[in-house]
Chain A
Amino acid sequence: MKIVFNGKERQVREGQTLEGLCEELGIKPEGAAAACSGEVVPKGQWKDFALKDGMEIDVFSLVAGG
């Protein structure tokens, strides 16, 4: 199935989770935040958040500076 990841189409396997996808891409969850169709996916839900065909996923870095 296909999702839109950070604005670009991307093939993901059936049943893949948000956490699994980030792991595959080398994105550390503790350094990132994510949203699905414009709504933030709370960090505690990444593990069970199943990706579905056509979903729009945004993953972005948490930033530290001040």
Chain B
Amino acid sequence: MRYERPRLLDGYDKLDGILAHKSVAILGAGGLGGLCAYLLAGAGLKSLTVADDDTVEDSNLHRQVMFCADDIGKIKSLCLKREIGKLDPEVQVRAFTDRVDEGNFADFAKGADLVMDLTDNVRTRLLASRMCLELKKDFVHASVAAGTGMFCAFRFSDPAFVREHGCYECMAGAQAKPAFRGITGPYAETISAEAAQLAMECFMGTAPWGELFVHDMERRTIRRFKLKRDPACPECTRYLDSIKE
């Protein structure tokens, strides 16, 4: 009964059945990660790892819809686990409360069919792209600030994808340093929902792998660009060399 409405959509009749056997690891339980995890659990995903060592602050509540005033001071990933438990007690949520770094990334991503970078930290983002490439795990990136959001899916499990489209670092550079900007609740949660939809498409076989979407929410336009590998990217080169052997 729970999934009867999505099942009415073309291509979605098997989605909950597919998600029931998949696992997703999400970096960030805030403005992007929180709602995204909740929507995926709602869609039928039964196994989730959510990493966030931040605590809920008053200044989060205008956009991080999974938390309430009583949560201020509590660890975000644990609050999110609690909320998903209320939605569907069958969902196994692993709250990863350590800061994700090089040393524990493989543990964080263990068993995941898809890793999602929904963090606000660019160092973690670059690390995630690099580690997912190394682990050959499919990877979704989304970020948002001011009125602009961007999102894309990297099929790192497929060498042909990497050869053509590269990694996050190819696009943004190893020195990427986005400016800190303001944000509204609707802007953040629009991109969060778009990330959840993209993850579902990854499992349905309809994802636009290798396309970067730039959503200008002020002008209400979405531009799409094809990601391209930088032949000089050391991370992609290492990956492609490891395939040859």
| A residues in contact (CB < 8 Å) with B | 28-31, 33, 35, 38-45, 58, 60-66
Mask of B205-236 contacts with A, CB within 8 angstroms, 1/0: 00000001010000000011111111011000
Given A29-B173, A65-B120, A65-B143, the answer on whether A60 and B214 have CB atoms closer than 8 Å is yes
A33 touching B145, Cβ below 8 Å: no
| B residues in contact (CB < 8 Å) with A | 28, 30-33, 118-122, 142-146, 148-150, 166, 170-173, 175-181, 183, 188, 212, 214, 223-230, 232-233
Q: Identify which of A44, A45, A63 contacts B150 (C-beta below 8 A).
A: A63
Determine how close the nearest CB of chain A comes to the CB of B181; give it in whole angstroms: 7
A65 touching B226, Cβ below 8 Å: no
Q: Identify which of A39, A40, A61, A64 contacts B122 (C-beta below 8 A).
A: A64
Number of residue pairs A-B, CB distance < 8 angstroms: 103
Q: Identify which of A44, A64, A66 contacts B173 (C-beta below 8 A).
A: A44
B173 touching A43, Cβ below 8 Å: yes
B118 touching A42, Cβ below 8 Å: no
A60 touching B148, Cβ below 8 Å: yes
B225 touching A39, Cβ below 8 Å: yes
CA distance A64 to B188 in the complex (A): 11
A63 touching B228, Cβ below 8 Å: no
Determine how close the nearest CB of chain A comes to the CB of B21; give it in whole angstroms: 28
12 new A-B contacts, CB < 8 A, other than A42-B171, A45-B230, are A30-B176, A30-B177, A31-B178, A33-B212, A38-B226, A39-B225, A42-B228, A44-B233, A45-B232, A63-B143, A63-B146, A65-B31
Residues of A within 8 A of B178 (CB): 31, 61-64
Q: Identify which of B31, B142, B224 contacts A38 (C-beta below 8 A).
A: B224
B171 touching A64, Cβ below 8 Å: no
Closest to A44 in B: B230
Given A64-B178, A65-B188, A66-B30, the answer on whether A42 and B143 have CB atoms closer than 8 Å is no
B176 touching A62, Cβ below 8 Å: yes
Determine how close the nearest CB of chain B comes to the CB of A40; give it in whole angstroms: 5
CA distance A30 to B214 in the complex (A): 17
B31 touching A63, Cβ below 8 Å: no
Residues of A within 8 A of B183 (CB): 65
CA distance A62 to B212 in the complex (A): 12
